[in-house]
Amino acid sequence: MSTAVEAPRYREIADAKGRIYRVGETDRDILGRSRASMVWLPWIATMAVSVFEFGFGAAEDALEQAHGWSQSQTFWLLSVWAIFQASVGFPAGWLREKGIVSARAAMLAGAALSGVGFFSIAHSSNLVIAHLGFAVCGGIGVGLVYTTGISIVGKWYPERRGAKTGFVCSGFAYGAVPFIFVFSYALRPDTYVWLLDGVGVFMLVIVASCGMFFRDPPKNWWPADIDPLRWAASTSGAKSLAKNPPAFRQYTPLEAIRTGMLPLMWLSLGITAGVSLFGISYMVPFAKDLGFAPMVVAMAAGVLSVINGAGRAITGMVSDRIGRKPTLLAVLLASAVALVGLLYAGKVGNEIGFLIFALLVGFGGGAFYPLFAAITTDYFGENNNASNYGLVYSSKLVGSVVGIGIGGSVIDAWGYTGAYWIAAVSALVSAGIAGLLRQPGRPGRSGGPTSPDAGRPADEHSALALAER
């Protein structure tokens, strides 16, 4: 006689603002394992695909020699890649939230398409094939991996969203470091086929292996061992909520657009992404143009990648404590200073100074991504986060055209001096736009108390239990 396994009991409770929390189900009830796996697996997967963006500058010279491409043709390939990488976020998020595509399916598709990206430039010099394979397939593949990984971790860690999102986001830079050095020293016209094939196989295996274990939690899920109302009233919870109050309600993408805040976020992220992609793409060519030694060039690229990842992780944690918006403004201002510093350290031939400012450019060039991801959830809620952040992140497609494609034309016309100054001023403009952000639906100052009930003892909230199943 078989005995049916009873589904875990859960109840839904609401806080004073009507936010719903689904409690009672543990991570092991849903996943069969600890939710920590939904931090490490996305982190590893994003590491595996980071070579597309952060390793391209190191591979650019060898690709030009092997295929007979010009520098402009080669960097436009990266620009188109970034367009497709950014554009897939919203449709993929919408399909996931509608239950049409699972997180697992999105990751497996991303693994296959990412592999195709490197296989295509390994075996063909035809620019059309390169654009279809590397830019279109590779861009869509990396976009699926990145947006799925970033959005899923915030759902599994609603009480530590900034720190966990920042950590996963950091993988998108760290993973490129070994490839930067390999490309700098071993990628040549006589080695590029097997090296690029190897990268494609590596991504396919790693991302697919991680993606097999991806699963979203139920909507409004909250860790069973943490009472959300008591957490909100606790010292750490109250501080975090005071700086980053939860969304006033759950906004659909259209509703988020109508608030006016999502368009501002879109514009700010797009400008900042353009600045970041310019810094990532052209720092190696700039260093080579200056006549720096190959080791210095490789170290600069490696430092940028490592610190780019560290910046994503650190600012996520910092923002949980001091607030998303102040952290974002500090990052954007630091980016402007770092770009000017890198330019003039290079012009005077100061290799140590160049490396130091490469560190700062790398820090600012990645730290803003997890901040915008966390702000999107803070402003518009968790339930439609994949779609809402997909919309915000889609601005990167404009940034890629300006930062990489048009950036190359600006260098041709005005040299590196003009291009770096334009990038620095753009970072300041983005900071000004970000300064206008305000949480929709919440009265008073941004970052103020979440409600008149803030600080009320948790026991007073306990009567807000709505249902038990």
Q: Residue 462 pLDDT > 50, yes or no?
A: no
> To the nearest whole number, what is the mean pLDDT of the chain?
84
Residue 260 CB neighbour total at 10 angstroms: 13
pLDDT, tens digit, 9 for 90 and up, residues 65-101:
889 898 788 888 988 898 898 888 888 888 888 889 9
Residue 254 CB neighbour total at 10 angstroms: 11
DSSP conformation letters of 307-373: HHHHHHHHHHHHHHHH-HHHHHHHHHHHHHHHHHHHHHHHHTT-HHHHHHHHHHHHHHHHHHHHHHH
What is the average pLDDT across 274-302? 83
pLDDT value at residue 240:
63
What is the average pLDDT across 434-440? 93
pLDDT value at residue 331:
92
Q: Residue 250 pLDDT > 50, yes or no?
A: yes
- In the chain, the percentage of residues whose pLDDT exceeds 90 is 39
pLDDT value at residue 201:
95
pLDDT, tens digit, 9 for 90 and up, residues 283-296:
888 888 888 877 78
Q: Residue 8 pLDDT > 80, yes or no?
A: no
Q: Which of the two residues, 18 and 469, has the higher pLDDT score?
A: 18
pLDDT value at residue 345:
92
pLDDT, tens digit, 9 for 90 and up, residues 214-242:
999 988 899 988 888 777 665 555 566 66
Candidate from 241-250, 327-336, 348-357, 419-428 with smallest mean pLDDT: 241-250
Per-residue pLDDT band for 28 (boundaries 50, 70, 90) equals very high
b/e map 157-171, b = 16+ CB within 10 Å: bbbbbbbbbbbbbbb
Q: Which of the two residues, 438 and 5, has the higher pLDDT score?
A: 438
pLDDT value at residue 272:
93
Identify which of 130, 282, 140 has the alpha carbon closest to the alpha carbon of residue 192. 130
The SS3 of residue 5 is coil
Candidate from 30-44, 282-296, 414-428 with smallest mean pLDDT: 282-296
Residue pair 62/187 in contact by the 8 Å Cβ criterion: yes
Both tokens assigned to 11: 């109840």
Identify which of 409, 338, 418, 324 has the alpha carbon closest to the alpha carbon of residue 73. 409
Whole-angstrom distance, CA of residue 401 vs CA of residue 234: 46
Phi and psi at residue 467, in whole multiples of 5°? -155, 155
What is the average pLDDT across 11-27? 82
pLDDT, tens digit, 9 for 90 and up, residues 376-396:
989 998 878 888 988 998 898
Q: Which of the two residues, 289 and 452, has the higher pLDDT score?
A: 289
pLDDT, tens digit, 9 for 90 and up, residues 120-157:
999 989 999 999 999 999 999 999 999 899 889 888 99
Per-residue pLDDT band for 448 (boundaries 50, 70, 90) equals very low
Phi and psi at residue 468, in whole multiples of 5°? -135, 130
pLDDT value at residue 464:
39
pLDDT value at residue 233:
64
Residues 6+ apart with CB under 8 A from 333: 427, 428, 431
Q: Residue 46 pLDDT > 90, yes or no?
A: yes
CATH number (1.20.1250.20, 3.40.50.150, 2.40.50.140, 1.10.287.1260) of 24-225+251-440 reads: 1.20.1250.20
Residue pair 139/211 in contact by the 8 Å Cβ criterion: no
pLDDT value at residue 136:
96
pLDDT value at residue 258:
95
pLDDT value at residue 450:
39
Whole-angstrom distance, CA of residue 335 vs CA of residue 360: 7
Read off the amino acid at residue 216.
D
Identify which of 325, 43, 242 has the alpha carbon closest to the alpha carbon of residue 156. 43
Cα radius of gyration (the chain) = 23
Both tokens assigned to 419: 């291009």
pLDDT, tens digit, 9 for 90 and up, residues 341-386:
999 999 988 888 888 898 888 888 878 888 998 899 899 988 788 8
